[in-house]
Chains A and B, each alone.
Chain A
Amino acid sequence: MHEIEMKPSPKVSIEFDGQTLQANKGETVAAALLRQTHLAFRTTPVTGKSRGPFCMMGVCFDCLVEIDGAPNRQACMTYVEDGMRVKRQLGAGDTGVFLSDEEDTQ
């Protein structure tokens, strides 16, 4: 990361996987995480491979994260807010209702 000289921006703090980090007001969650050189945002539901932002303009859906408990949010399209809790999305979306492995009899 190499930061360009910018006019000062108000800061907000967000949480990423339990860790608090500073972000500039008015920037996307993806930008805030990349600023801290977090490149991997999720693992895929298909093979569990790591993925991170690719297009930064809402087209590729590779930057999906969990935001304030809601799964599959586009980090590049969501703007930071103070106190936001962001988590890496591991595999398929978690709605809070799911089966334990033993119960998964499908």
Chain B
Amino acid sequence: MKDHYDIAIIGTGPAGMAAATVASAHGADVLIVDEQPEVGGQIYRGITHQSIKDKTILGDDYYKGQSLADAFAASNADHVSGATIWQVSPEREIGISKDGAAHLLTADQVIIATGAQERPFPIPGWTLPGVMTAGSAQILLKSSGITFSNAVFAGTGPLLYLIAYQYLKAGVPIRAILDTTPKSNRLKALPHLPGALFHLSSIMKGRKWIKALKSSGTLFIEGIDNLKITGKDSTEAIEYLLQNKWHRIEASNVFLHQGVVPNVNLAMASGCIHHWNEQKLCWHASTDEWGSSNVPGISIAGDGGGIGGAIAAEYQGRIAAYQALYTTNKVKKQERDTNVLPAQHALTHEMRIRPFLDAMFRPATQYRIPTDDATIVCRCEEVTAGKIRESISLGCAGPNQLKGFTRCGMGPCQGRFCSLSVSELIAKAQNVSVNELEQLRLRPPVKPLMLAELANLTTLASEDT
């Protein structure tokens, strides 16, 4: 690691790898950092050392990540893995922790490519051991070959069907699939179908997964109106409401999923402006066509700025890299424009399916804003929906005051698994749109940092005293 780089990239998923490959190919001094020991992000996790013997289990889309990882490996970007990035300041001072030591370095350009996380799924019992996200089921499969027999998959969205299909291919018995997709979504998605037809093969792929699951004899129940998970110290059963009647399925493992949302904490704490996207029901980075944010020198690429999927992320990474190269005088305007043109076209094409997917798999209100007052919204501080509603009625103007009143969002996850629910809860209670509310104010360190690490930033102290 050096003290200064032309371009620093946060995240080694598809956007980050693509950006680093392009940027270093044009002579820029590039740093790329990630929390994980290996590249791939979550989507291509384990791609460089995949040891599952049967390649049909994870499927072709997964192994497509190999060429991206190969190209990146051939680049001469400085790759720092297994590191925590706890700060990107508006002046592009980057705080990195690795092996128990913290470092500060600077870059002329920073590309934040922090990817996605799963949308919170605040239902009764979602904090019980044995309840995990569908994404975590896939992480366990990709990185360790671990699966759970007789698990229940509940929720909505392509990733839910994909992981269930991967379980099916791997011969792992599934107890049930409880589909919460509202039936009315089909009608609302219909106007977006023409755009989606450019991606007929993707749609057909999804249909294939569902068809295979249904014809396998796996219990597949659609039109679920509500869910709760019960158990004393761990998951014992999942209960579901279907046509006004509650049913119960015993299970020790439940995988929940209702879409992915951008991982915005680092960019927000850097001062990048975000806005509420009502179609996608999450925060989006307010960036220009290059992914550049309002903070000079900081851009956002890939799912971290707004969900577009792995392929789109790759194009966005390339586009952001060319703009960073242009800004740092590594390429001329002409060269930038010629080079990004194909990526821009491909990105436009790639995004055509999104409005359809957003409408089709829009999670229903009761799974985003808990109806039951006893449901935990903030997992870290164990703050319930009822407590939040009570504080709003006491006059809490927004999430920041709410945090002070209830400790909601004050724990180690720093609002990552509650702030979306909180914003929607407050907006609903005050009968305003989420965009009219303030956002949870985030500050570094965006990930926990050891006190000794901060104390040992000696170079800084000596400079400043």
Other-chain contact of A6, B139, B145, B253, B381 (Cβ < 8 Å): B145
Interchain CB contact under 8 A, A55 and B135? yes
A39 to B188, CA, bound (A): 39
Q: Give B residues with C-beta under 8 Å from A.
A: 35, 37, 42, 49, 51-54, 57, 82, 117-118, 127-133, 135-136, 139-141, 143-149, 170, 172-173, 233-235, 252-253, 263, 379-382, 411-413, 416-417, 447-448
* In the complex, residue of chain B having the shortest beta-carbon distance to the beta carbon of A41: B129
The reply to whether the CB of A82 lies closer than 8 angstroms to some CB of chain B is no
Main SS of chain B's interface residues?
loop
Other-chain contact of B147, A4, A26, A39, A53 (Cβ < 8 Å): A4
Q: Give A residues with C-beta under 8 Å from B.
A: 1-7, 9, 24, 26-28, 31, 34-35, 39-41, 44, 46-47, 49-62, 64, 72, 77, 79
A6 to B46, CA, bound (A): 13
* In the complex, residue of chain B having the shortest beta-carbon distance to the beta carbon of A3: B145
B-side contacts of A58, CB under 8 Å: 35, 447
Other-chain contact of B54, A5, A9, A27, A52 (Cβ < 8 Å): A5
Other-chain contact of B139, A5, A44, A49, A57 (Cβ < 8 Å): A57
Interchain CB contact under 8 A, A40 and B140? no
Other-chain contact of A57, B129, B135, B172, B252 (Cβ < 8 Å): B135
Other-chain contact of B379, A5, A6, A50, A60 (Cβ < 8 Å): A60
Interchain CB contact under 8 A, A5 and B52? yes
The 3 closest A-B pairs by CB, nearest first: A52-B129, A56-B136, A7-B51
A-side contacts of B130, CB under 8 Å: 39, 52
Looking at the assembled complex, report how far the CB atom of A73 sits from the nearest CB atom of chain B, in whole angstroms: 10
A47 to B381, CA, bound (A): 9
A55 to B57, CA, bound (A): 21
Interchain CB contact under 8 A, A62 and B379? yes
A54 to B129, CA, bound (A): 8
A56 to B49, CA, bound (A): 19
A46 to B382, CA, bound (A): 7
Looking at the assembled complex, report how far the CB atom of B136 sits from the nearest CB atom of chain A, in whole angstroms: 3
B-side contacts of A41, CB under 8 Å: 129
B-side contacts of A61, CB under 8 Å: 380, 411-413
A101 to B173, CA, bound (A): 48
Interchain CB contact under 8 A, B127 and A6? no
B-side contacts of A2, CB under 8 Å: 147-149, 170, 172-173
18 interchain pairs, CB-CB under 8 A: A1-B146, A4-B172, A5-B53, A6-B53, A7-B51, A26-B49, A31-B144, A34-B140, A44-B382, A49-B382, A52-B129, A52-B132, A56-B132, A56-B140, A59-B263, A60-B417, A61-B412, A79-B82
